[in-house]
């Protein structure tokens, strides 16, 4: 079912988010706290460093392998800095129909497009609805789809609702585009009689803003089959958490944002990066969290997704 | 203080234990241990396993919800005669807040598992105690909802603007249970604790109701006559203050919608609306009383599920307050 983490704020060393917290994103590939399945189908990270050469271009690391055995990733993460990042571990159903390769590893980023996406969700019977989405997509974006995931198609669909996908992202426009894309998906589901719960938690970023959603179609109408999506009960509405404050460091032994105003940093994650969840807050269900960094610090806004 | 005569004397003075038979208080006293804290000392942390219920004899304890950025939301201040951590006794879930002594504080700790054992045996006093603690939890839920309603303000940036879901044209209507219902119930929260025979006996005679997305199920201020269990879909409970609104709880399959209003006999402090198309099971108050009268293992399973769901409702109702406090909207406390 996947897990992701996104960060925007003061510079951090990647290790502090990918490996060091006691429930880091890499740890969540095998021991997620709020999910019964493991996430063993690949790891990816995109990271922006405002001080680097070509700061609008993130550096990228993707592997279909397991991140906890990856010495190169660990070595890089101890050195690389970031002022924004999205990291993702992919989980899939244990089936030979699933394609586990680098082309399906999140986050996705098309050539010439500054906005990137990672997703934690699962659209019911995606093959049935896939080609209905094509008529809502720009051909030049649809052509860039390389993998087989619903997430990459949704990425192309959202970008297709933006006036100029090659321009730096405007968070408000990105939020509107996401809502329009979700409405298109709802219409296509209705056309095909798809009525089972489908979570669509995702995060978009261009390194200067984050737009994240906690959303599900037909929540409470579980899949009949006892699949990974149909197995969750206590956390049946796919989770999304956040913490915002100043900086990001170890406080009293726990990795978290620090105190003080104005706030400068935000972490958004499928689930807390620490076993102690008391320094984290849940994003409300059916909501979108929009965060942007500016000269006066970080500003955030929560929007209702009533689609 | 020794866990004998002094403890019994203390227990007798507390409203929670008022009217319980002397031998029951004797039993409970035998299960207790004294505790003492200096000012500032932490009794338990949020997330800790809940193993005991604490009863304050002297001093004061503050209940805090920790927030990002070393901030905290002060949930309550509790003085002599009150019980703390009572969720341990009724639901066995981890601590939902941190408890810290405001001043030098002393009291007694009751082992939650031992109390549960008394409840399972023929100890009406222990059962009455659990009932009272349940009522205390209901009161806490109502207090949180009322506080949330007071604090809501559109000018506060953490108040989530909520648009009303488009009203539905349909309405709540009875439906027949599907042929696969028993197998389905065995897979969802609350119902998965019962055997197929128990499910039939407890819920077989109750009505199933269906409603389209957007249907109002209970209006704010109404006194509902039945607990509504969500079987499929989801119900949203929303509290309003002027034009501002906040979701108190989203109840998916296996969750209960109308604790407040049915179990505490007061007006429902929020409105309940089908957020998704929904199938509900209706448990009228009279039938609940009949189940309670049985006072057998099935009732205990039922009650435990009810209390677990109530604690989940309390945790969910706390979330909007926590978000507002974290945003520094007027009532944030610093962790000392």
Concatenate the DSSP letters of all residues of B92-115 into one string. Answer: -PPPSSEEEESS-EEEEEEEHHHH
Residue B154 has pLDDT above 90, yes or no: no
Cβ separation A218–B163 shorter than 8 A? no
Q: Which residue reads 């520094």 in tokens?
A: B328
* CB-based burial label for A203 (10 Å; 0-12, 13-18, 19+): buried
A34 and B CB contact within 8 Å:
no
- pLDDT for B92: 74
CA distance B250 to B274: 10
Residue B71, CB-side half-sphere exposure with 13 Å CA sphere: 29
- pLDDT for B334: 42
CA distance B58 to B72: 24
CA distance A85 to A109: 13
Q: Which residues of B touch A236 (CB under 8 A)?
A: 252-253
State how beta strands B235-241 and B271-274 pair.
Answer: antiparallel
Sequence-distant (6+) residues with CB within 8 A of B258 are B218, B224, B226, B227, B228, B268, B272
CA distance A20 to A37: 22
Residue A263 has pLDDT above 80, yes or no: yes
Q: Which residue reads 């404050």 in tokens?
A: A245
> Taking a contact as any Cβ pair under 8 Å apart, which residues of chain A between 200 and 239 contact chain B?
218-222, 226, 233-234, 236-237
Residue B159 has pLDDT above 60, yes or no: no
Cβ separation B323–A278 shorter than 8 A? no
- pLDDT for B164: 54
B163 and A CB contact within 8 Å:
yes
Q: At what angle do helices B112-120 and B124-151 cross, to 10 degrees?
A: 120
| Mean pLDDT score, A91-107 | 89
Using CA of residue A268, residue A271, residue A272, residue A274, what is the dihedral sign? negative
**Option in A258, A259, A276 nearest B47 (CB):** A276
- pLDDT for B1: 43
Q: Which residue reads 């035998």 in tokens?
A: B30
- Reduce the DSSP state of residue A28 to 3 states and report it: helix
Measured between CA atoms, how close is B144 to chain A, in angstroms?
Answer: 17
- pLDDT for B84: 87
Beta bridge partners of B46: none
Helices (H), B240-335: 259-262, 285-294, 297-326
Phi, psi angles (nearest 5°) of residue B90: -100, -25
DSSP letter (8 states) at residue B1: -
Q: Which residue reads 């409470």 in tokens?
A: A220
Full-model pTM? 0.94
CA distance B101 to A220: 42
- In this structure, the number of other CB atoms found within 10 A of the CB of residue B21 comes to 12
HEC profile of A56-73: CCCEEEEECCCHHHCHHH
Q: pLDDT tier at B254 (50, 70, 90 boundaries)?
A: very high
- pLDDT for B166: 59
- pLDDT for A84: 97
- pLDDT for A226: 56
Give the chain A residue nearest B66 (alpha carbons): A278
| Cis preceding-peptide flag for A107 (omega within 30 of 0) | yes
- Reduce the DSSP state of residue A230 to 3 states and report it: coil
Polymer length of chain A: 307
Q: Which residues of B touch A286 (CB under 8 A)?
A: 250, 275
Q: pLDDT tier at B106 (50, 70, 90 boundaries)?
A: very high
CA distance A264 to A262: 6
Q: At what angle do helices B124-151 and B22-30 cross, to 10 degrees?
A: 80
* CB-based burial label for A195 (10 Å; 0-12, 13-18, 19+): middle
ipTM: 0.94
Give the chain B residue nearest A217 (alpha carbons): B276
Mean of the per-residue pLDDT values for chain B? Answer: 85
Residue B90 has pLDDT above 90, yes or no: no
Residue B22 sits at the vertex; the CA angle it makes with B18 and B27, to the nearest 5 degrees, is: 105
> Taking a contact as any Cβ pair under 8 Å apart, which residues of chain B between 89 and 128 contact chain A?
98
CA distance B86 to B76: 14
Write out the DSSP string of B119-169: HHTT-HHHHHHHHHHHHHHHHHHHHHHHHHHHH--TTSTTSPP-PPPPPPS
Cβ separation B319–A285 shorter than 8 A? no
Measured between CA atoms, how close is A39 to chain B, in angstroms?
Answer: 24
Q: Which residues of B touch A9 (CB under 8 A)?
A: none
> Which has more confidence, A208 or B27?
A208
Measured between CA atoms, how close is A17 to chain B, in angstroms?
Answer: 16
């Amino acid at each position: 079912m996947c897990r992701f983490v996104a960060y925007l704020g003061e510079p951090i060393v990647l290790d502090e988010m990918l490996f060091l917290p006691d429930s880091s994103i890499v740890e969540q590939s095998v021991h997620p706290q709020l999910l019964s399945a493991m996430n063993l189908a690949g790891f990816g990270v995109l990271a922006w460093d405002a001080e680097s050469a070509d700061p609008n271009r993130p550096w990228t690391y993707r592997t279909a392998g397991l991140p906890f055995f990856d010495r190169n990733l660990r070595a890089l993460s101890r050195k690389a800095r970031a002022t924004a990042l999205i990291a993702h571990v992919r989980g899939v159903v244990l089936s030979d129909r699933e394609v586990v390769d680098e082309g399906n590893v999140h986050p996705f980023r098309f050539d010439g497009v500054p906005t990137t996406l990672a997703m934690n969700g699962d659209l019911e019977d995606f093959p049935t609805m896939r080609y209905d989405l094509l008529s809502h997509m720009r051909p030049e974006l649809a052509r860039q789809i390389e993998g087989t995931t619903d997430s990459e198609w949704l990425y192309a669909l959202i970008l297709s609702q933006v006036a100029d996908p090659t321009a730096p992202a405007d968070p408000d426009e990105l939020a509107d585009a996401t809502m329009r894309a979700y409405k298109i998906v709802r219409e296509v589901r209705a056309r095909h009689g798809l009525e089972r719960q489908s979570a669509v938690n995702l995060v978009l970023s261009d390194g200067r803003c984050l737009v994240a959603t906690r959303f599900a179609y037909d929540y409470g109408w579980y899949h009949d089959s006892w699949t990974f999506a149909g197995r969750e009960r206590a956390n049946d509405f796919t989770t999304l958490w956040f913490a915002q404050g100043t900086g990001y460091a170890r406080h009293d032994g726990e990795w978290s944002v620090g105190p003080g105003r104005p706030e400068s940093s935000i972490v958004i994650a499928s689930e807390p990066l620490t076993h102690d969840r008391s320094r984290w807050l849940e994003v409300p269900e059916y909501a979108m969290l929009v965060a942007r960094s500016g000269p006066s610090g970080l500003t955030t806004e929560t929007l209702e997704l009533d689609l | 203080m020794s866990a004998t005569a002094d403890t019994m004397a203390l227990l007798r003075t507390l409203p929670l234990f008022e009217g319980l038979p002397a031998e029951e208080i004797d039993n409970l006293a035998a299960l207790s241990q004294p505790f003492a804290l200096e000012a500032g000392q932490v009794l338990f942390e949020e997330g800790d396993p809940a193993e005991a219920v604490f009863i304050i004899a002297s001093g004061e304890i503050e209940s805090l919800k920790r927030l990002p950025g070393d901030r905290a939301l002060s949930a309550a201040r509790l003085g002599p005669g009150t019980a703390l951590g009572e969720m341990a006794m009724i639901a066995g879930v981890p601590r939902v807040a941190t408890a810290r002594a405001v001043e030098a504080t002393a009291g007694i700790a009751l082992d939650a598992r031992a109390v549960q054992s008394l409840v399972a045996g023929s100890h009406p006093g222990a059962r009455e105690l659990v009932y009272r603690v349940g009522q205390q939890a209901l009161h806490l839920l109502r207090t949180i909802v009322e506080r949330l309603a007071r604090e809501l303000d559109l000018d506060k940036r953490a108040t989530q603007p909520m648009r009303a879901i488009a009203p539905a044209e349909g309405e709540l209507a009875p439906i027949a249970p599907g042929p696969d219902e028993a197998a389905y119930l065995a897979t969802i929260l609350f119902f998965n604790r019962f055997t197929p025979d128990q499910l039939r006996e407890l819920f077989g005679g109750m009505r199933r109701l269906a409603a389209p997305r957007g249907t109002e199920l209970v209006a704010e201020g109404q006194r509902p006559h039945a607990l509504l269990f969500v079987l499929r879909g989801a119900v949203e409970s929303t509290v309003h203050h002027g034009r501002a609104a906040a979701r108190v709880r989203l109840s998916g399959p296996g969750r209960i919608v109308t604790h407040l209003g049915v179990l505490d006999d007061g007006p429902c402090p929020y409105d309940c609306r089908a957020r998704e198309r929904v199938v509900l099971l209706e448990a009228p108050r009279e039938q609940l009383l009949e189940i309670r009268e049985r006072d057998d293992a099935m009732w205990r399973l039922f009650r435990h599920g009810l209390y677990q769901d109530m604690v989940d409702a309390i945790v969910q109702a706390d979330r909007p307050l926590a978000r507002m406090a974290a945003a520094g909207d007027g009532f944030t406390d610093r962790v000392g």
